[in-house]
Structure formats: structure tokens, C-alpha cells
Chain A
Amino acid sequence: MAKIKTEVVIVGAGAAGAILAAELCKVGMKVVALERGPKLKTIDFNPHDELRFFQRQDTRPDPKKSVVTWRFNTNMKSQPLNSMSYGNQVGGGTVHYGALSWRNHEDDFRVRSATIERYGAGFLPEGSDVTDWPISYADLEPYYDKAEYDLGVSGRAGNINGQKIAGGNIFEAPRKREFPLPPLRTDVASETFDKATKNLGLHPFISPRAILSEPYKGRPGCTYCGFCQTFGCHVAAKSSTLVNKIPEAEETKNFTVITGAMCYRVNTDSAGKATGVAFYGPDGSDNQVEADLVILAPFVYDNVRLLMLSKTSVHQNGLSNSSGLLGKGLMTHIRPSVFVAFEEKKMNIYMGPNAQRHSIDDYNADNFDHKDLGFIRGGQISIGTAGQQGGPIGAAINMVPPPGIPRYGSAYRDWYAKYFASHMSVGLQIEDLPYLNQTIDLDPDVRDAWGLPAPRITYDWRRPNELKSVAFLSKKIEDIGKAMNAKYVWMGDRAQPGAPGGHHTGGTRMGTRPDNSVVNKYCQSWDIPNLFVVGSSTFPTMSGYNSTLTIEAQAYFVADAITKHYRQAPGPLV
């Protein structure tokens, strides 16, 4: 059993953890980070291997070891989820993600107020717990800017200081300056989507991604190899924290990352203050880290689980849970899709960065009038691959053939042989509202490979608001598919209705008061001032956007609060 003493311990060296580590180390703070997975190198991502990295989910947690269970409701027995999409290595999900880098809309930070202002209080869906964030877009804007420039994001501005710019996303919140890097290259699929959506009167643009379109800060530009989402980048053009913030932290000599370290408890003393964490090593050893400041930055599930597992006689309902809200308000993106396949034109969708490459934002957030629609919020629509990436395993597994074509046999073979290179997918990710009975808790019946109770999700998105939203937006992507003059346009059939979708969010909500949230706007526990909980688990609402850039901006925001204020006077920041 090892005993380590440090100033700061960070659990999880992913998007948030690595940024916090680098920013804290740079001002001289001593940081130890615990990472459950390994530390990989860029050379580990060469050669490309769809079986290993996509199908067998290397770089993601093994669902048999890091078990997460799910049930529709409290009357059902939970079942293990068979695939995870978050990260399991130093750099976390930013190693293998599609690198979409969105700034939330202004109204994404104030869904409740914005809805009431535009439609009246009666318009808020019954049973939902829609809440404003304790921070505004304006609070976070400088940190979005910092994240884009520090990490390396490619894109084209659609709104600089209120000036709308054609070709960019005209619905984006105002930014102070252009992206640090020009947008990534378009391809035949994105151009086909661009034309079709323009014909429908919509406003397409090249999606902003944390992938270098040109050399930047010593890293080369993207080679458009196509082995992108679910893969690590073989030239380090993807701006993962593994290749930018981790080396920066290491350069300070104030940083240690311990890999293979499974944190299972936050230690607290009799006064209720955090004293450090306990973790299992890869050899099964039981180890302790003593620290003045504890920062939790793993994925959503483990933020909630760690706080629940760490309960004591002082914190009987789990740490930071005096509000009773710990684990509540889980949200996931609901993701219908439409497949399109062309008779002659090849899309070669396996080329280039594959996730959500070209987008429209017309049906996201409150960018369209909901007055007569009977639901609030919307979704982000973009063109991409049938699965998470464009290889032939992913497409065969994720793309149900169109009606009339069987799923196997010679007719399927001929269909797939002909249309593999000419298909693409119009994808939709729909904002799910927070409901307090969509939860994460400890599964009483299932344990993971470390003997810890598995995080259990209780979740079913089939609520009146979501059902209406899914129906309305699904029709929109079908219309876009039909506007492309393709041979086949058909709805995908990927997920069990109601099942958790992508980008799990919520569970340690941030808020304005100790009785309405788990942490304050600086992600500091209301109950334990030397405990911070960062990441998308703190989001009160999820937006239709992928959350990584907001997680990263939040990490810079929290780092600023710690280095400029907390460090000088440890104690509540609010």
C-alpha cells in the first residue's frame, strides 16, 4: 500500500482533468492525477485498425470490467450496457472523440428564463426540472476563446460581436474573434448536404472541430485518413489533451500521473473536510493519496458514484449531497438518423474526420419558433457516417439496409457492395430535458471488476416533450435526405426506444444555492469547500451540442478560480 502526499489530487486525466492539471501546475501547485486507464502514445495509433479501436472499443472502458447498468424505471431489473463511449486513458474521451467543439448558445445557459420570456411559464413541460445555469455565456466566453486557441480548434465564425457571417454558423453565440484555425476541408458528402439544406432555406456550415486544419503549436495538420472518431490520431492532429495539456503539465515538473489507478473513495475527516482519495492499483493494491484539494474529473458516472461511495457518518447521503440532488437529472442525446445512398455518386464517407462534419443549427436550441409545436428545445443536425466512423465494419453493423433489402444473404451482399461507398447518414442529436427521476445511483445487485457497486442508470426519454421533439426533428432530417436526389433515403433503426443515447450529462448539477444544486458555479462542493467536481455532470441542462468544448472552457474557468482566488484563501468561493 502506497501513501502519497500532494497539494492537489485530480481523479481522471481527461478533458477537464488534464486542463486543470496543466493550469494548476503552471502556477506552481503540485498535482497528482489518477487515471484508470493507460497512457498511450501517438505511435500507438498507427496502424489503423477498425476491429480493435471501433468494434472492440479499445480506448473506451471495457463494459465487462467497468460495468454500468441501466433500467427503464424503478420497477425493472437493471441490465448491463454493452458499450461505452467515454474514454479510458490519459486524455480521456478527447483521445478518440470526433472532436466536435461547440460553444453553447446563450439560451443554453438559461433555458428556463429564455422559455418563460418567449412562451410564458405555462410552456415549461410538466415534470421537467429545467433550470438556468449559475453562469452565463458571457461568463464563459473568455474561456471558450482560451480553449479554442490553447487547444487548437478549426472552424469559421458565424457571429463575431453580433455581426453575422455567412458560411459560419449564424446561430452561434457571439464570439470576440475568429477561430484560431481555418475550417477543415469539405468533401462530397458535406457539399451534397450543404446544397440540399441551402435549397431548403437552411444555413449549413462546416462543423467546428478540435482537429488541426493546419500545423499549430508544433503539431501537424490533419491528413484526412478517416480513422478519427473511436481512434487516436496517428499524427497528433486531433487536439486531445493527451497531446497538448498533458505534456504542458509534465514540463512544469509539478505533475505526476498515476495510471491503472481506480479511485474508489474520497476520504473525509470528522469535520467533513476532504483529506484525499483512496485508489486500487493495477496490482490490486490499496493506496492512499493525501491532498489539500481534491478535484473529481472522471466521466459522469464516476463523479456520482464516487460521491455516493464516500459517504460517512458526517455525510450520510454521500458527499456533497445535502440538497438530495446527487445523481439526479441525468440527460442523454437522443439520436435518430436518416441514411442516404446514391446510385452513381460516391460519398466515400470513410475519408476525412468522420463525425458530424457539416451541420445546420436551424433546429437547435430555441433557434426556431416553438409556439405551435408543443415542445421546447431542439437538436443539432449534421452529415456523417452510419456508425461512429466510416469503415466497413461500422457501416455494416450500424446501417440497417433500406426497406425491401434483407440484412443478410446474396441480396444484402450485392446491396452493401454497391452502396458502401455511396452512403452517408444525416444525424440528429436531440437535447433531452432534465427530469429528477432520470438518475444515476449504486446498483445493489451488480459489481464491477474492482468489486464496487456498478453505477446504475434509471432512464427513459419517452416523455411528452421528447416524443414530440423526436417526431418533429426526425421529419426534418428525412426532408433533408429527400432533398439530395438519392436512390435510397430511409430512417435508421438503431436504438431501443427510450434507451439512453449519447453524451451522458448531469448528476452533480451546479446551481445558485446549496439547496438547489450539488456544486456552485465554480464546481466547488457546497458542503465540502476543498472538493471540486468538474465536467458535464455539473450541467443543469445539456443543449443539443456535444459537450466537450464546454467541459474544457469550464475547466479553464475553474482553474482560474482556484489559482487566483481559492489558493490564496481556501474556502467557499461563493
Chain B
Amino acid sequence: MEKKSQSQDSQKPELDRRSLLIGGALGAAASVAPMTSAQSAPKIHAQHEAVQQPKSSHETHQRQGVFLNDDDYATIIAFTERLMPGAPGKPGARDANVANYIDLALSGFLSDQQYFYRQGLEGLEKHCQSQYQKSFMFLTIVQQDSVLAAMDENKASGFTWPTAKAFFEKLRVQTIEGLFSDPVYGGNKDFAGWKLVGFPGAQPFFTEDDMKNGKAFTREPIIGMQQSQTRARKG
């Protein structure tokens, strides 16, 4: 039985929770965590090496770390990644820094939901331990998806308040917020979420042709709040 605070998983020789959280490598490393089945071990090794030298900015998850502890943060990364998984050319929750958005929100606008999150995370841990004897972040993707499905149907054991369904819905909504809100809130890194769906951000206007041509809007640049504020100040 593996608890969150235990360090080593026999199936992950070079990867424990600590290593998931080391500095800028967090994002890419955490992506490895769910893939800890025996057959994927070599792949893990390869990806783990990639972690040492991030290839692109998407592999650098930026964490400000204002509320959630390391365990809970890693759990949120893993959970939100299953809600909106990344794939090559398709940025997901981890690429977009969704966990960082949630962490910042919980210390600010959503501070009245801190207890809700603590209790929800505790329910999730209890459920995963009773079903798999492991924390959520150490489950295989298939197992993680089973946990999500059970929560979505409100059939997951271990939860009291919030219910499994309520916690699932909260995480779903806040994953959407973290993916698609302006990057100033800590998610949507490099406009990852907006690029995923083809949303050009805070454009000050659209032309008649933009509105009538029936085509994807591709005019650069995507505009976020920082860009438009800079422009406004410059007049």
C-alpha cells in the first residue's frame, strides 16, 4: 500500500512524488506519473530524461504555490489532466497550468472554497486507497479514468462532504476556467487553451468580413489582458 507521503513506488524506479515536483520539471514529470504500469516503464524512462532538458515552454509548468501543498498540487495536476488531457499539438490542463490557476484562485477569489477542496481531496485519497491502495497520482490512466467516472456518477466511496459528484463538478468547472481564462489568472499558459479551440482572445473589434466569411479566425496576434493594457497605456 502506497501512501502519499511514502517515497518510492517499485514500478517507478526513478520517479517518486518528490521528483514530480522539482522546479520547472514539474509539468512534464507529472505527465509521466499516471503512466506507471509495468509495460510503460521504458517509456517513462525516456520521458523522464526529457524532463531534464525541457524542449519547449509547454514542458515548464509554472507553479506559484500559494495554497495547495505538494501532494495536493500533484493530485490536482493529475486529476485535471484526465479531465482535459494534453496530446501532441493539443495542449491539455497540465500544459495550460490549470493547477496553478486553481491554486491561485483558492488563495484569492475562491478562498471560501478552501475547506471544500481539502475535504474533496481527502475523499479522493480515501477512495483511491480503498480501491487501489495507492494515491490518485500513482494510478494508471485507466484507473484514474475509472475514478473520474465513478465520481461523475456519484458512486465513488470515501466522500462525505463534498459528495464525489460535487467535487468532480467543481474540478471540471475550474479546469475549464483555468484553461480558458486570461493568462493573468495563472492558467491558459501561452494561450494554450485559446489556441486549442481557436479563440483569439480580447480582440477590440471584428470586421464585417471576419463575421461573415464562415472561416476560422487566424489573424495574429491573440490578445490577452496584459497586451491590451500595454496598448491602452501607450495610447
Contact = CB atoms under 8 A, between A and B. Distances in A.
B213 interface: yes
Interface stretch (A15-23, A101-109, A412-420): A412-420
A412 B193 CA distance: 14
Interface in A211-238: 223-227, 234
Contacts of A47: 202, 225, 228-229, 232
B210 A393 contact: no
Contacts of A407: 152, 172
Nearest to A227: B202
B209 to A, nearest CB: 11
A346 B214 contact: yes
Interface string B172-203: 11001101111001000000011011110011
Contacts of A40: none
Contact of A191 (B181, B185, B205, B212): B212
B180 A408 contact: no
Given A49-B182, A397-B173, A421-B198, A223 B84 contact: no
Interface string B200-235: 001111111011111111000000010011001000
B181 to A, nearest CB: 4
A196 to B, nearest CB: 15
Interface stretch (A264-272, A347-355, A468-476): A347-355
Interface stretch (B39-47, B52-60, B85-93): B85-93
Contacts of A41: none
B199 A391 contact: yes
Nearest to A348: B217
Given A392-B197, A421-B198, A46 B228 contact: yes
A174 B199 CA distance: 41
B199 A408 contact: no
B206 A397 contact: no
A46 B225 CA distance: 9
A410 B185 contact: no
Interface string A329-348: 00000000000000001111
B145 A392 contact: no
A187 B185 CA distance: 31
A393 B211 contact: no
Given A46-B232, A408-B172, A409-B145, A226 B206 contact: yes
Interface in A393-443: 393, 396-397, 407-410, 412-414, 416-417, 420-421
Contacts, number: 124
B156 interface: no
Interface residues of B, number: 46
Interface residues of A, number: 43
A392 B228 contact: no
B211 A352 contact: yes
Contacts of B83: 408-409
A412 B84 CA distance: 8
Contact of B197 (A48, A188, A421): A421
Given A348-B210, A352-B211, A421-B197, A396 B185 contact: no
Most chain A CB inside 10 Å of its own CB: which residue of B173, B198, B229: B198
Contact of A55 (B90, B181, B208, B212): B181
A532 to B, nearest CB: 38
Contacts of A392: 179-180, 193-194, 197, 199
A85 interface: no
A185 B209 CA distance: 11
If over half of B's interface residues share one DSSP class (helix, strand or loop), that class is named, otherwise mixed; here it is helix
A50 interface: yes
Contact of A413 (B92, B204, B212): B92
B182 A420 contact: no
B78 interface: no
B170 interface: no
Contact of A346 (B87, B181, B216): B216
Contacts of A224: 205-207, 210-211
B213 A188 contact: yes
Interface in A123-179: none
Contacts of A5: none
A353 to B, nearest CB: 11
Nearest to B224: A47
Given A185-B208, A224-B205, A393-B177, A420 B148 contact: no
Interface string A315-341: 000000000000000000000000000
Nearest to B109: A56
B204 A234 contact: yes
A186 interface: yes
Contact of B212 (A188, A234, A393): A188
Most chain A CB inside 10 Å of its own CB: which residue of B172, B199, B216: B199
Most chain B CB inside 10 Å of its own CB: which residue of A224, A234, A413, A414: A413
20 contacts: A46-B232, A49-B202, A51-B177, A187-B212, A225-B206, A226-B203, A346-B217, A352-B211, A391-B180, A392-B193, A392-B199, A396-B180, A408-B148, A409-B85, A413-B90, A417-B196, A417-B197, A420-B198, A421-B198, A421-B217
Given A50-B182, A420-B199, 6 more contacts: A224-B210, A348-B210, A351-B217, A352-B211, A413-B87, A421-B216
